[in-house]
Amino acid sequence: MKKKNIAILGSTGSIGTQALDVIRAFPEMLEVSVLTASVNADLLIAQARAFKPKAVVIGCETKCARVKSALEDLGIAVYAGDKGLEEVVQLEEIDMVLNAIVGSAGLRPTVKAIERKKDIALANKETLVVAGALIMDLVRQYDVAMLPVDSEHSAIFQCLVGEQDNPIEKIYLTASGGPFRGKDRDFLTAVTKQQALKHPNWVMGAKITIDSASLMNKGLEVIEAKWLFGLEVEQIDVIVHPQSIIHSVVQFQDGSMKAQMGLPDMKLPIQHALTYPRRQPNAFERFNFRNYASLTFEEVDKDTFRNLELAYQSLKDGGDRPCVLNAANEIAVAAFLADEISFLGMSDLIEATMCQQKIVRKPSLEDLLAIDNETRIVARSLVK
């Protein structure tokens, strides 16, 4: 069997390193052809020496010379910066691009990869939040596979296998509720980034961990689900499920519901996306019903966690609104992590930023990239 050649964008991050663990376990099936990192040159070099890809990209251009000299003996091509990222996804031998970059920086490389007919394994949800309509058009136009890595969307995708002729009535995205589930606004006024960075069920990169604490992550996932599965916003519901065992649920038109469940471990949806349509045996820990007396469900506290409603509203308003929401959120999270604004101040900043810009109805890709940029400038000015 021909091996599947995979480019991992963001290989030094939480998803990227777990993807390499998965690939390491299937040397007969999967091969790494590209690795990329933003700043962590040491880890990128170590990964490249272990997996011997054709090429690597280091985002930070000043580190390029160091990476080159460290990989010279292996004949690995070294690219730098955003341009390097866009070039490298087009390499002939790549079959699939796993996009595990954080933030809207993942958008352009996804577009380039689709245009070169590469299948996409998508962890970078911001790609679909910013430009979901355009991306799904490209996916159809170039006839590539778009496989979700986000656990909720992987769950929905798995529930839909064999159901292509059966319309979805609605979906439930499950949310753990994050570290501040059950807390009120009084409590949240004074929470620190250290508290917000402690997720009860998942270990992830800093940005998505803060998004999970503020429920913006679930808001971004609602938008991601709309585009991936072609749903109306009214068909997407969110329910809090603190144990994170049921990863999401599809309800069909006869009222029957399918759920996908398992222990919370991102390696599972990563492996599913990389090896689809086959399910490969692995040694991951199995769920044991006897360890769980109950699985519980709660309503989201939308008054306390306002980001979820802001995300729903952006989807209802349409056009460039989700792009603006996302850019404002990226600035808000960075400002919170830099101790410049408070936890609750993030929603205020996003709302204020969104109020300052008028809606663009049918933005092109270039429009969205410009709006993403402008929104960041507006949001940053509001932080000061």
Q: For binding to Mg ion (CB under 5 A), which residues are involved?
A: 150-152
Q: Does 260 bind ligand NAD (CB under 6 A)?
A: no
Instruction: For residues 78 and 201, give the distance between their C-alpha atoms in angstroms, rounded to a whole number.
Output: 37
Query: Contact 247/185 with Cβ under 8 angstroms?
Result: no
Residue 138's binding partner, choosing from Mg ion, ligand NAD, none, with beta-carbon cut-off 5 to 8 A by kind?
none
Q: Distance from first CA to last CA of the chain, Å, rounded?
A: 57
Helices and strands: H and E segment counts in the chain = 16, 11
154: nearest Cα among 78, 265, 281: 265
Query: Is 150 assigned a ligand-binding role in the annotation?
Result: yes
Query: Is 221 assigned a ligand-binding role in the annotation?
Result: yes
Token output for 274: 């990389």
Q: Does 15 bind ligand NAD (CB under 6 A)?
A: yes
Q: What's the closest the beta carbon of residue 209 comes to ligand NAD, in angstroms?
A: 8
* Secondary structure of residue 94 in the 3-state scheme: coil
Single out the segment in contact with ligand NAD by CB under 6 A; choices: 35-43, 68-76, 277-285, 286-294: 35-43
Q: What's the closest the beta carbon of residue 248 comes to ligand NAD, in angstroms?
A: 12
Q: Give residues 142-171 in contact with ligand NAD (rule: CB under 6 A).
A: 150
Q: At what angle do helices 206-214 and 321-337 cross, to 10 degrees?
A: 110
Q: Does 250 bind ligand NAD (CB under 6 A)?
A: no
Among 126, 301, 330, 372, interactor with ligand NAD by CB under 6 A? 126
Site size for ligand NAD, by CB under 6 A?
26
Residue 102's binding partner, choosing from Mg ion, ligand NAD, none, with beta-carbon cut-off 5 to 8 A by kind?
ligand NAD
What is the x/- site pattern for ligand NAD, positions 266-295, by CB under 6 A? x-----------------------------
Residue 219's binding partner, choosing from ligand NAD, Mg ion, none, with beta-carbon cut-off 5 to 8 A by kind?
none
Say which amino acid occupies 161.
Answer: V
Residue 236's binding partner, choosing from Mg ion, ligand NAD, none, with beta-carbon cut-off 5 to 8 A by kind?
none
Nearer to ligand NAD, 11 or 275 (CB): 11
Query: Is 13 assigned a ligand-binding role in the annotation?
Result: yes
Nearer to Mg ion, 47 or 212 (CB): 212
Query: Contact 146/140 with Cβ under 8 angstroms?
Result: no
The helix, strand and coil proportions of the chain, stated in percent and rounded to the nearest 5, come to 50, 15, 35
Residue 319's binding partner, choosing from ligand NAD, Mg ion, none, with beta-carbon cut-off 5 to 8 A by kind?
none
Query: Contact 36/128 with Cβ under 8 angstroms?
Result: no
**How many angstroms separate the Cα of 333 from the Cα of each of 173, 186, 199, 239, 338?**
23, 20, 16, 24, 9
Q: What's the closest the beta carbon of residue 13 comes to ligand NAD, in angstroms?
A: 2
Q: Where are the beta strands (DSSP E) in the chain?
A: 4-9, 30-37, 55-58, 77-80, 96-99, 119-122, 146-148, 168-175, 236-240, 246-252, 257-261
Q: Does 6 bind ligand NAD (CB under 6 A)?
A: no
Q: Give residues 43-102 in contact with ligand NAD (rule: CB under 6 A).
A: 59, 100-102
Q: What's the closest the beta carbon of residue 26 comes to ligand NAD, in angstroms?
A: 20
Query: Is 87 assigned a ligand-binding role in the annotation?
Result: no
Q: At what angle do helices 41-51 and 64-71 cross, to 10 degrees?
A: 20
Q: What's the closest the beta carbon of residue 252 comes to ligand NAD, in angstroms?
A: 26
Strands across the sheet with 246-252, in order?
Answer: 236-240, 168-175, 246-252, 257-261
Token output for 283: 């040694």
Among 118, 125, 181, 199, interactor with ligand NAD by CB under 6 A? 125
Residue sitting closest to Mg ion (CB): 150
Q: List residues near ligand NAD by CB under 6 A.
A: 10-16, 37-38, 40, 59, 100-103, 105, 123-126, 150, 202, 204-205, 208, 266
Binding residues for NADPH: 12-15, 40, 124, 126, 205
